[in-house]
């Protein structure tokens, strides 16, 4: 996958309105999308993403239907699409079958936060066989050995979690991000995207100024969409995009 930088990746939960929201975010300047496939026990998700996942599941969303959402977005947009889910849905679906079907739907990569890099061999092989990049997550608490291992098998970009915790909008950029980026940068030439807690144009700009190649916005994008629909999301994304290009 080839990311435009500075990257602005928007996370949206697969649901009935996701295609419309993705089109609105793209119009606002989103350069990539992560499409959540809901799971009943989402360990890394904060309240907002959990609420979106529960709403999606209650509406009948399944892994197969979520991949249909990815395909519908791909039919309308050219930006990289990266499904994000957990090991449970992937393993239940079958790793090889999931990766094949995700690629057929137009996905460019995959994020599975509860599969650590030292246990991702089979999933990475299934991704590689189907032309998908497996994107790792790293946290500020990650030791050097884990950073090196994750970056060695990384594809597409490296997801830098700004805080040790779950997703959720926060008031500003967490401390220590410049140092975190400096620790990871020597291990990979891939773009480094900061996520978890990016909720305002100023925070996104601060991440870029700290040395990141882009940001990932999930909880705030969902909150804006819940409150104002596609039009509000487009305005929000446009504000962040403008800040990234200042």
Report the sign of the C-alpha dihedral through residues 219, 224, 227, 228, in that order.
Answer: negative
- Asked whether 14 and 36 are in contact (CB, 8 A), the reply is yes
| Cα–Cα distance, 100 to 12 (Å, whole number) | 22
Q: How many CB atoms lie within 10 A of CB 107?
A: 28
Structure tokens at 155: 């594809």
Q: Is 34 a catalytic residue?
A: yes
Structure tokens at 135: 């994107």
Structure tokens at 120: 């991702």
Which one of the listed residues 34, 101, 213, 234 is annotated catalytic?
A: 34
- Asked whether 171 and 207 are in contact (CB, 8 A), the reply is no
Segment holding 109, helix H or strand E: strand 109-110
- Asked whether 19 and 73 are in contact (CB, 8 A), the reply is yes
CA count, 13 A, side-chain hemisphere, 226: 15
Q: Is 209 a catalytic residue?
A: no
- Asked whether 51 and 227 are in contact (CB, 8 A), the reply is no
Question: By C-alpha distance, which of 192, 198, 235, 241 is closest to 217?
Answer: 198
Which one of the listed residues 17, 20, 23, 45 is annotated catalytic?
A: 45
Catalytic residues: 34, 45
């Amino acid at each position: 996958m080839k990311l435009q930088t500075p990257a602005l990746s928007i996370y949206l939960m697969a649901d009935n309105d996701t295609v419309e929201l993705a089109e609105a975010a793209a119009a606002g300047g989103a350069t990539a999308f992560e499409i959540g496939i809901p799971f009943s026990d989402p360990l890394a998700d904060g309240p907002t993403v959990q609420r979106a996942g529960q709403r999606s599941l209650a509406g009948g969303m399944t892994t197969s239907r979520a991949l249909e959402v990815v395909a519908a977005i791909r039919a309308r947009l050219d930006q990289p699409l990266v499904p994000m889910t957990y090991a449970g849905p992937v393993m239940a679906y079958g790793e090889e079958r999931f990766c094949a079907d995700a690629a057929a739907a137009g996905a460019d990569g995959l994020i599975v936060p509860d599969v650590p890099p030292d246990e991702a061999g089979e999933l990475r092989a299934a991704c590689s066989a189907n032309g998908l990049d497996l994107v790792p997550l790293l946290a500020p608490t990650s030791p050097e050995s884990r950073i090196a291992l994750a970056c060695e098998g990384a594809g597409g970009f490296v997801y830098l979690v700004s805080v040790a915790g779950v997703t959720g909008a926060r008031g500003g950029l967490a401390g220590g991000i410049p140092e975190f980026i400096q620790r990871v940068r020597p291990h990979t030439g891939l773009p480094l995207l900061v996520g978890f807690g990016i909720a305002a144009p100023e925070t996104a700009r601060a991440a870029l100024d700290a040395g990141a190649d882009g940001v990932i916005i999930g909880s705030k994008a969902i909150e804006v969409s819940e409150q104002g629909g596609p039009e509000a999301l487009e305005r929000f994304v446009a504000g962040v995009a403008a800040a990234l290009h200042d």
